[in-house]
Amino acid sequence: MPTSSPPTVRRVVFVDGVRTPFGRARKDGLYAHARADDLAVKTVRELLRRHPQLPPERVDDVALAATTQQGDQGLTLGRTVAMLSGLPPTVPGFAIDRMCAGAMTAVTTTAAAIGVGAQDVTIAGGVEHMGHHPMGFDADPNPRFTAERLVAADALNMGVTAENLHDRFPALTRERADAYGVASQEKYAAALAAGRIEPDLVPVALRDPEHGWGLATADEPPRPGTTVEAIAGLPTPFRPGGRVTAGTSAPLTDGAASCLLAAEDVAEELGLPVRMRMVSFAYAGVEPEVMGLGPVPATEKALARAGLTIDDIGLIEVNEAFAVQVLSFLDAFGIADDDPRVNPYGGAIAVGHPLASSGVRLMTQLARQFEERPEVRYGLTTMCVGLGQGGTVVWENPHFTEDAR
């Protein structure tokens, strides 16, 4: 009788990542007349275009995330986008949902399959057209959530959960949050001017019934020149006399992002670049009322699994759903508000947060920072998730050299 041996875990590498320019989710926004699935298609086609050495039939799976899976974000996105992108009909695909960490979960799910040898090459990403599909639109939360006091009545409002963080931790003041929000805008503007944003963007053709054809080549949400004085008087929409404002929150955004993953030996076989190596990942749950704390336990778990501490991490990409959420993460790990390791290119407060796509934006930016910083060996991408979760992935820099330290 034949015997089997357990599979050998293979190294998973991040080959490349791209995204669309991000647009504001409103009636006159960049993608007001664009389909969500078409935005995702643009990213997948761009990955294939950038890597002609990859035979399309070698893609083993396409995992695409969306938080609101309906309309042009429904119909099993991964399979839909695979077919529309021109991949062979033999390439399967599926949809995935972990709210804001959708694309991150698409990455870790397919990476796990690669790691055990079930797949060799995958495409993972996410899309969110919040202009067409506002968060929570048409959702029907089970009444037991509140009737049985499983969560607070307002725990499904992300802005309220941010206010709750301010309440729980008095050190998280509005003044700190305002300063962080302005810094995000400043860092993004500096990265854009230095040519560090555009290389990861894929232009998107637009058709507006009133204005005709156009081309999206730049992010729409950023507000360069924002000052602390300018946002000090902004209203607090989630609570009268609160502390969370538009200046310290990620704007509602439309956009898509996708990446190419492979086993390291397969990347070498096909001549694909290795921009990052996956080290570990973890997800964790917290009270939904303070969902912004999710990155803390997720990072603790991911670091423990990697045998690392936060002091080993030279670059941190943390999603800026709200400034207070980032500050709570920094305080938990004893990191200064202006630590240069954190979001060197700015973050979602400036560039926007198209929910399920943001995880791959974080990864793509970290990969570019690794290339610039060979003295950094490890980095991480982390984000909070609605309903009280967090996700973290630890990455290794393939360009690391001891001599660069």
**Considering only CA atoms, which of 320, 329, 322 is closest in space to residue 244?**
322
Q: Tokens 């053709």 identify what position?
A: 205
User: Phi then psi for 152, rounded to 5 degrees?
Assistant: -70, 155
Catalytic positions: 100, 353, 384
Handedness of CA 280, 281, 287, 289 (dihedral sign): positive
Per-residue tokens: 173: 């003041």
Amino acid occupying residue 87: L
Helix (H/G/I), strand (E/B), else coil: 93 = strand
Between CA 321 and CA 325 the distance in angstroms is 7
Q: How far is CA 113 from CA 41, 61, 176, 216, 271, in A?
A: 23, 10, 42, 35, 21
Contacts of 342 (CB under 8 A, 6+ apart): 316, 318, 326, 330, 335
